[in-house]
Amino acid sequence: MKLTLSSDIKKIEELSYEKYGIQSITIMENAGSSVAYEIKEANLDTDEFVVVSGTGNNGGDGFVVARHLQNFGYKVTVFIVGNPKNISGDAKINFDILKKIDMQIENISEQNGLIKFEKMIKKCPYIVDAIFGIGIDREISDIYIGTIERINLYKKFVISVDIPSGVDSNDGHIYGTCVRADKTVSFILPKIGNIMYPGSSYSDELIIKTVGIPVKAINEKKLKYQIVTEKFAKNFLMLRKRDSHKGNYGKANIIAGSSGLTGAAILTCKAALRSGLGLLKLYIPESLNTLITLSVPETVTVPLHEMRKGVIGINHINRIVEDSNSVNVLAIGPGCGNTSEISETVRRSILDVKAPLVIDADGLNALSKNIKWLLEREGEIVLTPHPGEMSRLSGYSIDEINKNPIHIANEFAEKWKVVLVLKGSRTVIATPDGSVYVNINGNPGMATAGSGDVLTGIITGFIAQGIEVYKSAILGVFLHGMAGDLMAEKRGEYGLLAGDIVDGLAYALKNLTNLNEK
């Protein structure tokens, strides 16, 4: 499903009028009526609603909602926040209709109106929020703060129109305060603010209504942002043939692990193998070989002599590079440590390994000090940073990255010609052509040590099997989240470990494969 900015929606609506003749008043009517019918079909145990509308187009949607609810037999009171004289255009047309049908209309423009509103919502169980919508671009102040605070205070069931009032639709930022909705009915397509945190957390349920916009108008916009859904991800999964062998499912090399950090190597290898990979080699300091062999016997280990205990010697880099040019993918970084040896290994891999690369963890830390190495890279590369690593790579602060991960990931991927997997509560996959994919599954239990190593292994495994690099990143992120969700259902979020995600991967693949076969 495509994901939009507020400017995208405006352009789609303009195109719907200019090319297909759909009037803006028709879109408003369809939007408001879709919310009203959603309410009616829910069979809510009430005969009374309060509709809180602003003076802009979102308020106009609210006026349409109110009219239809009254037609359905509900008792409806409309509260207008702000000066009614500022209502114009299509919203004014619908406001005038309300006056003609004797709708009860109140105004919240001063303290007395706020007191009346408070008395009303104390006894009314359901509120429709149509104050701001997607047009807000400033901090909320004055009477609006008071209105929203009272909506939240009394914890009524709230239905927001398009987006909870107070959320920036372009990035999910909160403008000081925000309506806490139980359900949001959004129009045409989801907005970034509907999906990204913290905005997403202000609505428990999101429903999308098309409101009569032609699909052609949406497709002509060529939107480059997309939500990763189960239906979308399953298209990338390759079904296995009955007459196959391990050679059909690719070869991967992984450089991971150092003294005290063997767990990262183990998790990465287990995840790569669980993804369906045919043959895996792990390059490891020789002192760690026995532990790795006992933990992941399915992995072929290449124990390398150490010049320093627990660290791969720099004299082995030529061998690693040469070997990696005969496999389908090389992954480097998990648990490698911040050493000069790993820095040189990353540099040589970027410059001399023709196979796709997946760089994570300590590999990213080495790269962040020498980011221009990427300019000399000819083959495809996947980087999988968390916000701290992304800060070191990009120069943005962690706070800036968390506030606008889509924009920053998009900018970085285009500039450095990489597939970027920016990990977080909403992991963002950005590609060199400007496309961005946002993953929405997963859960807080996955915020645990080693979870990122598991993701690196999954992506590596899919690339090895011949799935395109950017598709492997998307599929890997989705299945990583799906595996985490499946295991959270069994074990809960608090006790979830990275190893549980590896175990859940087999079940996630089974589920997605079953969908693909239908």
Ligand-binding annotation for 133, yes or no, is: yes
Residue 314: per-residue pLDDT: 85
Continuous H helices in 124-274: 142-153, 192-195, 215-220, 230-234, 262-274
| The Cα angle at residue 149 between residues 146 and 152, in degrees rounded to 5 | 150
Q: Which of 281-285, 309-313, 508-512 has the lowest mean pLDDT?
A: 309-313
Q: What is the mean pLDDT of residues 135-153?
A: 93
pLDDT over threshold 70, residue 166: yes
Q: In which element (H, E) is residue 49 found?
A: strand 48-53
DSSP assignments along 239-306, one per residue:
PPPSS--GGGG-EEEEE---TT-HHHHHHHHHHHHHTT-SEEEEEEEGGGHHHHHHH-TTSEEEEE--
Ligand-binding annotation for 464, yes or no, is: no
Q: How confident is the model at residue 516 (pLDDT cuts 50, 70, 90)?
A: low
Q: Would you say 304 and 287 are in contact if contact means Cβ atoms under 8 Å apart?
A: no
Q: In which element (H, E) is residue 29 found?
A: helix 24-41
Ligand-binding annotation for 209, yes or no, is: no
Q: Would you say 69 and 44 are in contact if contact means Cβ atoms under 8 Å apart?
A: no
Ligand-binding annotation for 335, yes or no, is: yes
Q: What is the mean pLDDT of residues 252-275?
A: 97
Ligand-binding annotation for 423, yes or no, is: yes
Q: What is the mean pLDDT of residues 201-217?
A: 95
Ligand-binding annotation for 427, yes or no, is: yes
Residue 26: per-residue pLDDT: 97
Ligand-binding annotation for 102, yes or no, is: no
Which residue pairs, CB below 8 angstroms and at least 24 apart, start in 295-299? 295/262, 295/266, 296/266, 296/269, 296/270, 298/273, 299/269, 299/273
Residue 350 corresponds to which amino acid? I
Ligand-binding annotation for 309, yes or no, is: no
Ligand-binding annotation for 139, yes or no, is: yes
Q: What is the mean pLDDT of residues 96-105?
A: 96
Continuous H helices in 375-497: 387-394, 398-403, 405-416, 451-464, 469-491
- Coil, strand or helix: which one is 120? helix
Rounded to 10 degrees, the C-alpha dihedral 435/441/442/444 comes to: 100
Ligand-binding annotation for 184, yes or no, is: no
Over residues 373-402, the pLDDT tens digits come to 999 999 999 999 999 999 999 999 999 999
Ligand-binding annotation for 165, yes or no, is: yes
Ligand-binding annotation for 371, yes or no, is: no
Q: How confident is the model at residue 515 (pLDDT cuts 50, 70, 90)?
A: low
Over residues 172-182, the pLDDT tens digits come to 999 999 999 99
pLDDT over threshold 80, residue 204: yes
Ligand-binding annotation for 60, yes or no, is: yes
What is the Cα gyration radius of the chain? 27
Share of the chain above pLDDT 70, in %: 99
Ligand-binding annotation for 134, yes or no, is: yes
Ligand-binding annotation for 57, yes or no, is: yes
Q: What is the mean pLDDT of residues 412-436?
A: 98
pLDDT over threshold 70, residue 518: no
Residue 45: per-residue pLDDT: 87
Q: Would you say 151 and 186 are in contact if contact means Cβ atoms under 8 Å apart?
A: no
* CATH no., domain 231-517: 3.40.1190.20
Domain 6-223: give its CATH superfamily: YjeF N-terminal domain (3.40.50.10260)
Contacts of 445 (CB under 8 A, 6+ apart): 484, 487, 488, 492, 493, 494, 495, 496
Residue 514: per-residue pLDDT: 83
For the beta carbon of residue 231, count every other beta carbon within 10 angstroms: 9
Ligand-binding annotation for 89, yes or no, is: no
Residue 147: per-residue pLDDT: 96
Share of the chain above pLDDT 90, in %: 92
Ligand-binding annotation for 129, yes or no, is: yes
Ligand-binding annotation for 173, yes or no, is: no
Q: How confident is the model at residue 230 (pLDDT cuts 50, 70, 90)?
A: very high
Ligand-binding annotation for 136, yes or no, is: yes
Ligand-binding annotation for 424, yes or no, is: yes
> Which part of the chain has CATH 3.40.1190.20?
231-517
- Total length of the chain: 518
Q: How confident is the model at residue 517 (pLDDT cuts 50, 70, 90)?
A: low
Over residues 477-489, the pLDDT tens digits come to 999 999 999 999 9
Over residues 310-354, the pLDDT tens digits come to 888 888 999 999 999 999 999 999 999 999 999 999 999 999 999
Q: Would you say 140 and 167 are in contact if contact means Cβ atoms under 8 Å apart?
A: no
Ligand-binding annotation for 58, yes or no, is: yes
> Which part of the chain has CATH 3.40.50.10260?
6-223
Q: Would you say 285 and 312 are in contact if contact means Cβ atoms under 8 Å apart?
A: yes
Q: How confident is the model at residue 135 (pLDDT cuts 50, 70, 90)?
A: confident
